[in-house]
Amino acid sequence: MTSADREQHTMTERDIALLLADAADGVEVGIAPTQAVIRGGRRRRARRWAVATAAALAIVGSTGTLALAGLPGGGDGRAVRPAASPTPAAFQDAPHRTTLATGTDQGTKWKVFIDVWGAPRDEAEAQAQLTAMAEYEESAPDVRKASDLVGKVAYFVYRGYGDTTSPVLENTVEASDAMADTDLTSGALPLVPGADNPVRLGIGSVAKSAERVLCHIKDGDGISLTKAPADNTTDNVEPAIRPAEGSPYNWFVCVAPKGTEFESAEVTALS
């Protein structure tokens, strides 16, 4: 990635709205964040970030195409059904669920997890999968009919804090999609739900080849993340770079210390 690719721009809501109008034809855009940072890079399918409050959301992309909208059927305090084992075929009656990180903040347990639905092979499988998704209150973005989901992976990222679980990111991508080299897309939101809370939680996706990610913290030292060991269990999932079953990308989570905020992230080492 060149230095020009890494250049960051602060944009107003109006700037973001104009960009999205030009770049995402036909995509319905919800409330824009008060600030967004877009990092130049190869074009990728739009990702949708959502928080259940009116809090500002900072977004860092490697794509140049970002769309924001509320997740259907979701909100703080929403019950999320535990995932069952998926069927061997491409059609899944339940998502692959992967815990990306867990921790404790001021005595309260938090976690970030992702649901990934495999790519249906035909319209019949896609229709069955859409029906199964509805049971989980998950709705694949930009899918208006079953055939729109054929060959695509759908994923949904959630933040849990105490007894509250909130959806924070949704997307559908071609099953063959992949990130490369230093490609990185990340977003930030409060670790503690609430519009007035500091934006401490950073969540992002990277190429499978990324070995190290540096999270930049406002008024604080950076946080360096490396790939988690293969035998790591979900009992104590420290922030790291992790695969998510069914996802074409690896994922990372970092939490800024109390009194600071997440600012941005970059890939600093490749395999």
pLDDT at 148: 97
pLDDT at 233: 57
Question: What pTM did the predictor assign?
Answer: 0.72
Q: What share of the chain is helix, strand, coil (3-state, %, to 5)?
A: 10, 35, 50
According to DSSP, the residues that pair with 49 across neighbouring strands are 68, 169
pLDDT at 8: 35
Lookup result for tokens 């903040």: 105
Q: Name the 3-class secondary structure at 134.
A: helix
Splitting the chain (271 residues) into consecutive groups of 10 residues, what average pLDDT does each group show? 36 39 35 29 47 36 31 36 45 89 95 96 95 94 94 96 95 94 94 93 96 94 90 72 95 95 96 87
Q: Count other C-beta atoms under 10 Å from residue 50's C-beta.
A: 23
Task: Quote the DSSP letter at residue 26.
Answer: T
User: In angstroms, how far is CA 271 from the centroid of its own chain?
Assistant: 23
Give residue 81's identity as a one-letter amino acid code.
R
Q: Dig out the tokens for 99 from the structure.
A: 């815990």
pLDDT at 219: 86
pLDDT at 85: 40
Return phi, psi of residue 43, to 5°: -70, 135
Locate the domains of the chain by residue range: 3-66
Residues 228, 187: contact at Cβ < 8 Å? no
* DSSP assignments along 140-186, one per residue: -TT-SSGGGGTTEEEEEEEEEETTEEEEEEEEEEETT----TT-EEE
**Rounded CA Rg of the chain:** 17
> Count of alpha carbons within 13 Å of 141, Cβ hemisphere only?
25
